[in-house]
Structure 1
Amino acid sequence: MNVSSLYKNDIGRKLYLEIGMVEEEHVTQYASLKDPRCTWLEDLLMHDYTETYLYYSCYMTEKDENIKKIWEYSLSQEIAQLHKDVELLKKYEKKDWEQVIPNGEFPEILELKSNKEYLREVLKTANITSDKDGYVDASKLGKDSGFYKYQQKVNKNLDEVVSHTVIEDYIDKNGEDYRYQESPHPFQELDDKKSDNTTVGRVK
């Protein structure tokens, strides 16, 4: 949303705005996972602790010595930020970091590796949408549900949904869409790379 108005052409600007709208929906849901009682400085400490953990994981699992130096440099920066967070928490809230993160030990180290199989499992949920606090197959929702009312208002005319315009233009120029596939799509209706499916997860 910060860069959409700066893009070089109109279709790019509109695409950024559409992506921004979807991301805003995600943020609205993800925010509910946070503890609303945390202060800004507690949030800052947990944020930088998590980043330190991620950079540490990258550093510990990296095989290429040249790239490992980049992770080491990034890790040292994050550790410095973490120390500053601890100082700020102590100075302004009179709290020790252990009151926010009782166990400072990192969880099991994450490893960067292929996640294709995981993503293929995620793609199988293409029909799943949120329904208030839960998730449901969109085809099981009534036509008067909030989901379908939203589709009618925001995505009623697909000629105005720029992400579909971009895909269709790409197919026109290249004969198929931009996806790289090693095996059939896990959702059969989305396997055709020569046409843009606009019904899965959207039309009852």
Structure 2
Amino acid sequence: MGFNPLEHGGIPLERQIRSWRELNVAPIDADHCDPYTRCRIITMNGIEVEAILFNHHLARHCSDLDLKRQLAQVRYTEAQQQKAVNWLLPGVSSVLETTIAYEQVAVDLTAWVARMEPDPYLAQAYRFGVLEDFDHLYRYANLFEMIEHRKAESIVDGLTEVMPGRPTTRHHRHPVDNVRESYDRRAANPLSKLHALTIMAAEQQTMNFYMNTGPTYVEPIARQLYQEIGLIEEEHVTHYESLVDPGESWWEMLVNHEYNECYLYHSFMEQESDPKVKAIWELHLNMELEHLRLACDLLRAKDGREPQEILAPELPNVLTFEPNKTYLRDLIADELDLTTLGTGYVREAHERFQQMQEAFLGGESAPSDQVIDMHRDMLGREYRMETEGPHPVAAMRER
């Protein structure tokens, strides 16, 4: 039997407030932690930020003061959760080091979701996006070695390869071509809803991180690269958020958010290797079970529906951070030349794409290309970390 969050009681809401001492969590060891522990932390920080922002937006559309008070109480505990999770990251890590970890999350989380997604159209959306995050990891890894004289291998630990994906300059598309078709809330597999919320929240947090940390650098190339990739992360949020059916009611969206938090905390608790971090995942799961119960009560009261009408009868198989090297190499070989047109995908650069390229690049070299050129000039090579033979496109050309 799987785990059904609807059948388990959580910690009562009035007992969820934690003291400063309880929130003062010990950070992970930056040099000796499991890289996927850091990935799970970054993921859950994004999930909690999305929960807080969604709750705020819901409260802004709510006139019932008693309900606004309940939302505020849940939101405060979510904010405490977010602080506990995000503060697990060590203060000794530089912004660039954390950035590379963010991109490792984007690569291996999105690749896993693409592999597991039951809907072919949604799976294509994840496959398309992951090839761009893969290239971002490569660009930041080159910047990291130039500025900090360290290799990204010290962060990703060989679990994720560092090599070119779809070139970052080709990610600048006309905004209208970043909008996808949504799943149908009445027919979608419940797992598809969880996937869409998870990747949307993770990309949103990456967008926010780059927006706020990019200008903290002195080096012009670093400021420019964060600005360029930050704009692409905005495209990615548009890409992923449009997959969610806008016809879901506020209360249905609330239930889906809380159920997804239960799913992820349960998943990460099952696979966490760090005992103190695992204890936090378990504590937060027990908090989220109560948040889900309250959301289900609101669904019944406001929509007249039972949560079983929209949720899976039990949690899916745990979401897993694991290497996706072969899968990504196959994607590079098969789908590297794709771009978007309307809500679909094409292999040929179309007029609107070309116009956007000209408008954004203005005939100049983009920061994402400059950083590779500067790395070659400085060190006589570019930085890559390939663990399974030559780049698949290069291998195809050699054949």
With structure 1 as the length reference, what TM-score do the two structures score? 0.74
**Which protein is bigger by CA-based radius of gyration?**
1
Whether 1:150 and 2:356 are equivalent positions in the alignment is yes
The equivalent residue for 1:61 is 271
Q: 1:181 deviation in Å?
A: 0.7
Q: 2: CA distance between counterparts of 1:75 and 1:157?
A: 51
1:135 aligns with 2:345: yes
Letter in 2 for 1:186: P
Match of 1:8 in 2: 217
DSSP 3-state at the match of 1:51: helix
Contact 1:158 1:164 in 2 (8 A): no
How do 1:27-46 residues align onto structure 2 when only pairs under 5 Å count?
27-46=237-256
CA RMSD of aligned residues (A): 2.9
CA drift at 1:84: 3.9
Residue 169 in structure 1 maps to residue 374 in structure 2: yes
Partners of 1:129 and 1:137 within 8 A in 2? yes
Deviations 1:9-66 (A, max 9, x none): 2433332221221122222222331111113332232123123212212222345545
Matches of 1:78 and 1:174, distance apart in 2: 49
Gaps of 5+ in 2: 1-207
Which deviations, in whole Å up to 9, do the C-alpha atoms of 1:158-191 show, x marking residues without a partner?
A: 43x2222222222222332232111111122999
Q: Tell me the SS of whatever aligns to 2:242.
A: helix
Of 106, 111, 119, the residue aligned with 2:320 is: 111
The verdict on how the C-alpha distance between 1:171 and 1:43 changes in structure 2, with shifts beyond 3 A counting, is farther
What is the percent sequence identity of the aligned residues?
Answer: 34
Higher helix share: 2
Aligned mates of 1:46, 1:173 — CA distance in 2: 49
In 2, Cα distance between the equivalents of 1:151 and 1:104? 47
Q: CA deviation at 1:85?
A: 2.9
Gap regions ≥5 residues in structure 1: 192-204
User: Is residue 123–residue 187 contact of structure 1 (8 Å, CA) maintained in 2?
Assistant: yes
1:71 alignment partner, one of 252, 275, 281 = 281
> Which is bigger in relative contact order (C-alpha 8 A, separation at least 6)?
2
- SS of alignment partner, residue 130 of structure 1: strand
Which amino acid is the alignment partner of residue 385 of structure 2? Y
* 1:99 CA drift (Å): 4.1
- What letter matches 2:319 in structure 1? L
Q: Which moved more, 1:127-136 or 1:164-173?
A: 164-173
